[in-house]
A and B are shown apart, each in its own frame.
Chain A
Amino acid sequence: MILDTRSSDATLPTQCDVLVIGGGPAGITLALELAPTKKRILLLESGGLEFDHYAHALSRGEASGTLLGRASEYLQGSRLRYLGGATNHWGGICRPLDAIDFEKRDWVPHSGWPVARRDLDPYYSRAAPMCDVRDFKDVEEPPSEVAGFDRALFRNGPPTRFGQKFRERLREASNVTVCLHAHALKLSLDDKSVKSVRVKTAHGETNVAAGTVVLAAGGIENPRLLMLSRERELAAEDPLGRYFMDHPHVAAARVLFFGLPRDWLEYTKYDSRHERPMFRLNDDEQRKGRALNGTFSISPLREGMNGWWHSVTHGGFPNRELPEDLGEIKKAYETRLARSAPLESLWRELGLLRDKKPYQGILFARTEQAPNPDSRITFGETTDPNGQRVAKLEWKLGDLDRASLVAATERFGREIAKSGRGRLEILFPKDGWPVAGGGYHLMGTTRMSDDPRTGVVDKNQRVHGMENLYVTGSSVFPTSGCSNPTLTLVALTLRLAEHLGAKA
């Protein structure tokens, strides 16, 4: 059933078997999977069935970082507080993580999952139809035309709005109660377990006792709720809230083609509504070059300054503020064109470049971020409408993140030149990043590890040292890979549901 706790006759249950905090894709998946067990499931959603500003205001916080500049909307822009969570605005792009993402790589500090890709494969097969994409089992990725790069096949769902798709199933499940506008404020913890959860509704605050508590509130709220529930300050080496990762989305290069590369463009050969083949630095090259995982795609570059800026900004999900002075942008654009002119003249005289208006594209990178303990969630100075301290995010990228992407971009540029297809202009400034931002993929802050010193949850997603407290969602990812996280977090949640079901 679905209970709107704002209604005058609504009474929040005070006991349940499994309390799920968060009504996003992870929380909904878990509640539905546990429904056949006949356990009493309580799912708390801090929003309603539709967007509302009061609930959204709870997502306010402070954010800064390498790619964020002064942009403060990151924490609110990346999340939605109503049934379905972030799937209410996601693009529906799905792909499993690669097997190499789960491995311990000696060139990537803090890498390695306590589970392998093969452990997740059966759950990926079940997660795919939930996200309305075809199974990735035995997927044949298209052949690559660029040495060192594979073609990674991403599949686009409709996209699936979990809150809409599964609403009726949640309503009909007699042992599942979805409580809307119910805010989990704090977990009451003793040394080994959660005793109860303090929940706020329009009628006041209530303690809810549960046999098992699962946090499924996302990469920011999962660590925040755990931090709010701790009596003591975190120890300096505590991994809780650390290792925050997003996928840097970067306008890495401009590509000038010597002919029209129809078969290369993601919007021509493949139907972009369903499948998008990206260029991915293959596993051998990652090992050889000690590089991170990452993909490239090429988007057509429109003509003129406006087109240039449009292409760079709209494909790159910039969180960083753009210069306010349009003259500055125009000057930078004209300088770039002037610098290119001698080489273009040469290529024309050599007969390499024949078209009067050659086809150009922006090479967009969507890459893995190396786990970084200094990239973290702490508390900000202000409080939210519930009087609790807001989250403060410091999203920090390291030297490996930039160096790895620059090297991969240069490699790609050399390969397309070698094949005679065109030339590539690197857009990275000398020490910084070009136009770039995040993908709103919030990962890593309650990471999974067998060792409590390096992770918050164990391989079954149980919080270290706690008997009945679990976490699910992308916050448990120890590394990010380069695939969009939703399919993997649904697969992990299916695995967790099996574990919790078997435990009963």
Chain B
Amino acid sequence: MKRRRFLQLLAGLATIGVVPWFFRRRTRAPLENTESLRAAIQKDFDTGNTVIVDGWIVSRTEADLADRYR
């Protein structure tokens, strides 16, 4: 009975996307050169190169990178 409940829970989680999200997150390649990216972001803010993404005021560099996490 317990095993059946567990399998039902697992199926439920898979259905709503938690499991695929978990594996995708684990397999995503880490960002390289975070230091230079941070410098690019700072430069964007210093030069006024900003955009609004989902209500957030971010640099152009951040806006370009955000798609990796969607």
Q: For B37, what are the chain A residues with a Cβ–Cβ distance below 8 Å?
A: 350
Nearest-Cβ distance from residue A187 to partner chain B, whole angstroms:
52
Select from chain B the residue with minimum beta-carbon distance to A336. Answer: B55
B29-57 Cβ-contact flags toward A at 8 Å (1 or 0): 01100100110011001101010111111
Known contacts A350-B38, A418-B45, A418-B46: A343-B31 contact under CB 8 Å:
no
Q: For A11, what are the chain B residues with a Cβ–Cβ distance below 8 Å?
A: none
The answer to whether B69 and A346 have CB atoms under 8 Å apart is yes
The answer to whether B57 and A414 have CB atoms under 8 Å apart is yes
Nearest-Cβ distance from residue B5 to partner chain A, whole angstroms:
26
Known contacts A351-B34, A414-B50: A346-B68 contact under CB 8 Å:
yes
Q: For B31, what are the chain A residues with a Cβ–Cβ distance below 8 Å?
A: 349-350
How far is it, in angstroms, between the C-alpha of A425 and the C-alpha of B30 when the chains are bound? 26
Nearest-Cβ distance from residue A417 to partner chain B, whole angstroms:
5
Nearest-Cβ distance from residue A334 to partner chain B, whole angstroms:
13
Select from chain A the residue with minimum beta-carbon distance to B41. Answer: A350
The answer to whether B58 and A426 have CB atoms under 8 Å apart is no
Known contacts A414-B48, A418-B46: A346-B66 contact under CB 8 Å:
yes
A260-296 Cβ-contact flags toward B at 8 Å (1 or 0): 0000000000000000000000000000000000000
The answer to whether B38 and A342 have CB atoms under 8 Å apart is no
Known contacts A346-B62, A349-B34, A352-B38: A425-B55 contact under CB 8 Å:
yes
Nearest-Cβ distance from residue A465 to partner chain B, whole angstroms:
52
Q: For A383, what are the chain B residues with a Cβ–Cβ distance below 8 Å?
A: none
Q: For A336, what are the chain B residues with a Cβ–Cβ distance below 8 Å?
A: 55
Select from chain B the residue with minimum beta-carbon distance to A429. Answer: B55
* Interface check B70, CB cutoff 8 A: yes
* Interface check A413, CB cutoff 8 A: yes
Q: Give the size category of A's interface with B.
A: 20 to 34
Q: For A464, what are the chain B residues with a Cβ–Cβ distance below 8 Å?
A: none
How far is it, in angstroms, between the C-alpha of A424 and the C-alpha of B55 when the chains are bound? 8
Nearest-Cβ distance from residue B22 to partner chain A, whole angstroms:
13
Nearest-Cβ distance from residue B25 to partner chain A, whole angstroms:
8
Within 8 A of B (CB), among A168-220: none
The answer to whether B34 and A350 have CB atoms under 8 Å apart is yes
The answer to whether A417 and B57 have CB atoms under 8 Å apart is yes
Select from chain A the residue with minimum beta-carbon distance to B54. Answer: A339
Q: For A3, what are the chain B residues with a Cβ–Cβ distance below 8 Å?
A: none
The answer to whether B55 and A426 have CB atoms under 8 Å apart is yes
* Interface check B1, CB cutoff 8 A: no
Known contacts A343-B66, A346-B65: A423-B58 contact under CB 8 Å:
yes
How far is it, in angstroms, between the C-alpha of A93 and the C-alpha of B70 when the chains are bound? 45
Within 8 A of B (CB), among A31-49: none
The answer to whether A426 and B52 have CB atoms under 8 Å apart is yes
Nearest-Cβ distance from residue B1 to partner chain A, whole angstroms:
33
* Interface check A345, CB cutoff 8 A: yes
Select from chain A the residue with minimum beta-carbon distance to B50. Answer: A414
By a beta-carbon cutoff of 8 Å, the part of chain B in contact with chain A is: 30-31, 34, 37-38, 41-42, 45-46, 48, 50, 52-59, 62, 65-70
